[in-house]
Amino acid sequence: MQEKDMSCTSMVNKRRFIQTSTKTNSLDEDGDPLIKYKYQFPKRKPKTTNNHVDINELVTQVIQKVNLIDKMITSVPKTTIKKQVQIILNLEANPSIIIEFFSKKPSFLKAEHLGVLIEGLKKYGLKDADIFKYLCTIDNLQELNMKKIETTFDFFRSVGMANNDIIKTFLRNPNIIRLSYKQILNRVDSLKALFKTSDTLSLIANTPDILFDSMDDVTKKFMYVHQSMGITQRQMMYSSLFQCTLQHVINRHMFLERAGFFTKEIKQSIGTSSTNPKLQNIIDNSDADFAKMYGNMDVAEYQAFCKLLAKEKAFVSEDDI
């Protein structure tokens, strides 16, 4: 299992938009007024193309770069290399990035099924830019074929996931093609014990790592937030809870509670709203932003608190021995 960033700060670049909102008379399950949002996206800039790229010059540069790493590249016919470079160029990748791409993945220059694979991915609805990003995550193209991809899409369709969500899951964690149908089904069933079916599928699409994490760890995070903090599943859905460590959540919760910014509340009555911060505001911010937001403190003060909390936990554990 890969170690996760405790800050849980999203690194995904989001497209800027103009947002307007209006309150409605309806209430959500936390007792807050539902808000209708209207998004107006700015016009996209015209798509750049590689029509004027000198393919022969690009091929020469690719060969020169790859030759520094893999001398065997000289055994690959130049016509083959040109074909592979053209395939990636057709994905509208920047020529300089293409050179770097093949220098890191020289085996792609002789992968005969590269073109077939790309065309297959397009049929499943993946866009050129997404396909290139996906290829950048693959180390060994020989392990990847359309049969595996078709099987993966079929698996997720069988549990009720929409095609766009399958694509999102596929791009966020390419390793899902290694999962068997039984593994996927078992995890979906386990998550359905905690969330509604629609929420379970959305959660997987937004956080596909949850398919690989220990279900025991997932349950511990859920139970801590739900029972110790009194927070609903809906708030969990809009936070990065399952991308964080449990200790990160505990640190943030304990800090807020001891500083007087958080109190555990019984289930809210209809028409009332919680005074506690939303879960995403508690765990999704960096340490610096969190410390500034709650108490206007320096990040070093918050980190010192976390260290003291760890010592406190160790001391309590020793007393239990």
Q: How far apart are CA 62 and CA 109, in angstroms?
A: 10
320 has a pLDDT exceeding 80: no
Q: How many CB atoms lie within 10 A of CB 110?
A: 16
Q: How far apart are CA 19 and CA 39, in angstroms?
A: 5
For residue 264, the model assigns a pLDDT of 79
9 has a pLDDT exceeding 70: no
**Percent of the chain whose predicted confidence (pLDDT) is above 70:** 80
Determine the average pLDDT of the residues in 245-262.
96
Determine the average pLDDT of the residues in 94-99.
95
What kind and span of H or E run contains 22? strand 18-27
Q: How far apart are CA 186 and CA 22, in angstroms?
A: 41
204 has a pLDDT exceeding 70: yes
For residue 94, the model assigns a pLDDT of 94
316 has a pLDDT exceeding 80: no
Q: From its phi and psi, is residue 171 left (phi > 0), alpha (psi between -120 and 50) or beta?
A: alpha
The pTM assigned to this predicted structure is 0.73
Confidence band, pLDDT 50/70/90 cuts, at residue 139 = confident
Average the pLDDT over each of 25-34, 145-154, 192-201 and give the range with the smallest value: 25-34
69 has a pLDDT exceeding 60: yes
For residue 305, the model assigns a pLDDT of 95
Non-local (6+) Cβ contacts of 111 within 8 A are: 84, 141, 142
202 has a pLDDT exceeding 80: yes
Phi, psi dihedrals of residue 73, rounded to the nearest 5° = -65, -25
Residue carrying structure tokens 């919760």: 253
2 has a pLDDT exceeding 80: no
Enter the tokens of residue 138. 């693959």
Confidence band, pLDDT 50/70/90 cuts, at residue 23 = low
Per-residue burial over 144-169, b if 16 or more Cβ lie within 10 Å, else e, is: beeeebeebbebbeebebeeebbbbb
Strand partners, 18: 40
Per-residue burial over 270-305, b if 16 or more Cβ lie within 10 Å, else e, is: eeeebebbebbbbbbbebeebbeebeebeeeebeeb
Confidence band, pLDDT 50/70/90 cuts, at residue 52 = confident
SS3 169: helix
Q: Which residue did the predictor score with more confidence, 185 or 18?
A: 185
Q: Any idea what DSSP says for residue 242?
A: G
SS3 33: strand
Q: How far apart are CA 146 and CA 124, in angstroms?
A: 11
For residue 3, the model assigns a pLDDT of 47
The tally of CA atoms less than 13 A away on the side-chain side of residue 291 is: 14
Residue carrying structure tokens 């009194």: 230
Q: Where are the beta strands (DSSP E) in 6-109?
A: 18-27, 33-40
Enter the tokens of residue 150. 């078709």
CATH class for domain 214-321?
mainly alpha
Confidence band, pLDDT 50/70/90 cuts, at residue 140 = confident
Largest Cα–Cα separation, the chain = 73
What kind and span of H or E run contains 166? helix 163-172
